[in-house]
Structure 1
Amino acid sequence: MTDDVTRGWQRPSIYDVARQAGVSHMTVSRVLNGHPNIRESTRERVLQAIDEMNYTRSSIARALATRRAMRIGVLVDGPVQYGPNSTLRALESAARDVGYAVSAFTISDDEESQIDTGVVELVTQGVDALCVIAPRASSLDILRKQTTGLPTIVIKAEPDAAWHTVAVDQRAGATLAVSHLIELGHRHILHVAGPLDWYDARERQEGWSDALTAAGLPVVPSVAGDWTSDYGYEFGSSFELDDVTAIFVANDQMALGVIHGLSDRGIRVPDDISVVGFDDLPDARHFLPPLTTVRQDFAALGELALRQIIAAIDGEEDGMRHDRIEPRLIVRSSTRAPRA
């Protein structure tokens, strides 16, 4: 009876192969990915370990970037948030329509080091390309150090010299929200931002600031939140508003908390203060009051990202592209002209 049968056979992982070959898991990944800067003796040692451990040749073939596995690897930063989750589902739907599968690796807010593990796992699965959804600046700093040889698309609100990028135009969305408030007559508009390590949060903050500056209105320091309704409630129930007559909140979840916190203080929305959110959650129209917000077309974003991914796989892209989708302002009952 073999040891495999005695202990119950498990498919060997890339880490098992690395231990057997006496190298790092990243070296194994580079061998699987056909990386040129690997010594031949090291490559042979890794391939020998693969053979000895029955790490199947089909897995290796699928992991080579030059072969077609009809699979896209997706790194999702902050998967519990509405935007990243909706983008992933949209990408999966678009991929299915053209015969591609999606393998996702999620990264929690406090686990930036998981990016390294995620890239290795996805490459080992034999993906044809990588897509990164909703990255934080710190996440991309880690990713820049990776060498996979795979086409990589980043869902990112601003261009990047290293990758193809696609995004809903976050800055334009913020401009729509603030311009709406200005047109209603508001002159002191506060911003509750998302975590400023997130590119989307930065773009929304800059759009708010630029719109106020263009209108000749004061730009007071924004408040950085954490995307959650709990933070919005804490802010709404305690922050001194002074002359503020309107608040642009960086996402609908925080906006819900803000409205709740203001209500507990006896401050009425929109009679005493107007509130605008961002995302257009499915329930935003049922908030009390129904929320004015910025809608992102995640289905269109998923289709656009997939088109770029397939073009990159096919070698049809020359240079780095940045494509954007325009958002829409959805006006509901949480905004009105300020009281005289």
Structure 2
Amino acid sequence: MTEVARAAGVSQKTVSRVVNGEPHVSPEVRDRVLRVIKELDYRPNNAARALLLGRYRRIGVVSLGTALYGPSALLIALERAMQKAGYSFAVSSTLEGQGISVAVEALLEQGVDGIVLSEPIDDGTPLTLSADVPVVSLAEGLERTGGASAVVGADGVTAARTATEHLLSLGHRTVWHIPGPQNWWAARDRVRGWREALAAAGAPEPPLPPEGDWSPASGHTVARRLAQLPDVTAVFAANDDMAIGALRAFAEAGLSVPHDVSVIGFDDIPAAAYLSPPLTTVRQDFATVAERAVEVLTAMIEDRPAPTQHATTAVELTVRSSTGPARRPASPRR
């Protein structure tokens, strides 16, 4: 940094301001310093910076480490949001059975300024963390013994209500649900939203089938049972993959979608628009969730006024051809 300052004809403090993106540097001076940085191939020494400032410019993420669309898309969105905010990215996975506390400790040992909990599974016990850095959780259930924390996420309950209300608005007497694994926060939110929408409309609540595991195979298994029930005209699957399995099961049973059965999914995976028929679904804005989480966390890290501490991000219903008006009552299915 001293060499850059000498070559650019400025003070070392000015170089520091440019490197850290701080204000009070004229555009001409900033351009000159950046040009010299490029010429000298200067890179900040993050270890030295951490010793000097007490900050690593790095954020850790605790993630399940799965290839499932939702968690993986959110992880990518978090990395991009952190890079945009000027922070590097570190991840610790809970996939191999290590608990969240162990994953957090691994991140703290690496050196992070804050942590995002993107862990979707609830193991049934309260999560208590004693980390001495700010923490943002993307799900409920976080308890802190000290330090700043916040909860930021998508409003899954409202999204599930919206999906169910869409089917009811098409004249369906009720809506059946294919639930995801109930140790996932998101799956529980979708069951809750489904129930709330039925209750608000005065619609009967069908029995909840056995839960799926987010895979097309599990959606197919549940939908094969539903296909035998003559009063099933509308199905809300907790994710698009299970909805895809349901489409296959209904086709195998000789039922037309949406003429005989309307199907709606959740996530809006890239393939959803290209199915036959194209799938009506609820789209989650992972980029917005990630940006808001990083915005809240960096405000706490940098001692700035933080945005809303418990913020939810709206979701969007994408209507396609897999949902339609309720059919007239038909003869019992074989």
CA deviation after TM superposition for structure 1 residue 113, in Å? 2.8
> Paired residue for 1:211?
197
Q: Does 1:297 align with 2:302?
A: no
Q: Residue 110 of structure 2 is aligned with which of 86, 111, 125?
A: 125
Q: Residue 155 of structure 1 is aligned with which of 121, 138, 146?
A: 138
Amino acid at match of 2:200: A
> Paired residue for 1:41?
none
CA deviation after TM superposition for structure 1 residue 216, in Å? 0.3
Residues 107-154 of structure 1: CA deviation (Å, up to 9, x unaligned): 22xx4434333222111110111111142221873x41x422111101
- Taking the aligned partners of 2:51 and 2:203, their CA distance within structure 1 comes to 55
- Taking the aligned partners of 1:87 and 1:256, their CA distance within structure 2 comes to 21
Q: Residue 260 of structure 1 is aligned with which of 248, 251, 269?
A: 248
Aligned in 2, Cα 1:318/1:311: closer, same or farther, shift over 3 Å?
Answer: closer
Q: Residue 170 of structure 1 is aligned with which of 156, 163, 184?
A: 156
Q: Residue 213 of structure 2 is aligned with which of 226, 232, 247?
A: 226
When normalised by structure 1's length, the TM-score is 0.76
Amino acid at match of 1:125: Q
Are the equivalent residues in 1 in contact too, given 2:115–2:135 (CA < 8 A)?
Answer: yes
- Taking the aligned partners of 2:253 and 2:234, their CA distance within structure 1 comes to 16
Residues 145-187 of structure 1: CA deviation (Å, up to 9, x unaligned): x42211110112x585644111111111111111110110011
> Paired residue for 1:135?
120
Residues 62-103 of structure 1: CA deviation (Å, up to 9, x unaligned): 599x82101111011252221111111111111111211111
Amino acid at match of 1:99: G
Are the equivalent residues in 2 in contact too, given 1:60–1:124 (CA < 8 A)?
Answer: no
Two-structure CA RMSD over aligned residues (Å): 2.4
CA deviation after TM superposition for structure 1 residue 339, in Å? 1.0
> Paired residue for 2:319?
331
How many pairs does the alignment contain? 277
> Paired residue for 2:183?
197
Aligned in 2, Cα 1:181/1:302: closer, same or farther, shift over 3 Å?
Answer: same
Amino acid at match of 1:337: P
> Paired residue for 2:262?
274
- Taking the aligned partners of 2:182 and 2:141, their CA distance within structure 1 comes to 17
SS in 2 for 1:91: helix
Equivalent residue runs for 1:54-203 within 5 Å: 67-77=54-64, 79-108=66-95, 111-138=96-123, 141=126, 143-144=127-128, 146-156=129-139, 158=140, 162=144, 163-203=149-189
SS in 2 for 1:138: coil
Aligned in 2, Cα 1:75/1:139: closer, same or farther, shift over 3 Å?
Answer: farther
Aligned in 2, Cα 1:229/1:91: closer, same or farther, shift over 3 Å?
Answer: same
> Paired residue for 1:31?
none
- Taking the aligned partners of 2:275 and 2:244, their CA distance within structure 1 comes to 7
- Taking the aligned partners of 1:77 and 1:99, their CA distance within structure 2 comes to 24
CA deviation after TM superposition for structure 1 residue 200, in Å? 0.9
Structure 2: give runs of 5+ residues left out of the alignment: 1-45, 329-334
When normalised by structure 2's length, the TM-score is 0.77
- Taking the aligned partners of 1:160 and 1:216, their CA distance within structure 2 comes to 34
Between stretches 131-140 and 330-339, larger displacement belongs to: 131-140
Are the equivalent residues in 2 in contact too, given 1:159–1:165 (CA < 8 A)?
Answer: no
Are the equivalent residues in 2 in contact too, given 1:74–1:105 (CA < 8 A)?
Answer: yes
Are the equivalent residues in 2 in contact too, given 1:194–1:201 (CA < 8 A)?
Answer: yes
Are the equivalent residues in 1 in contact too, given 2:47–2:56 (CA < 8 A)?
Answer: no
- Taking the aligned partners of 2:238 and 2:218, their CA distance within structure 1 comes to 12
- Taking the aligned partners of 2:65 and 2:200, their CA distance within structure 1 comes to 33
Amino acid at match of 1:225: G
- Taking the aligned partners of 2:312 and 2:160, their CA distance within structure 1 comes to 15
Q: Name the % identity.
A: 38
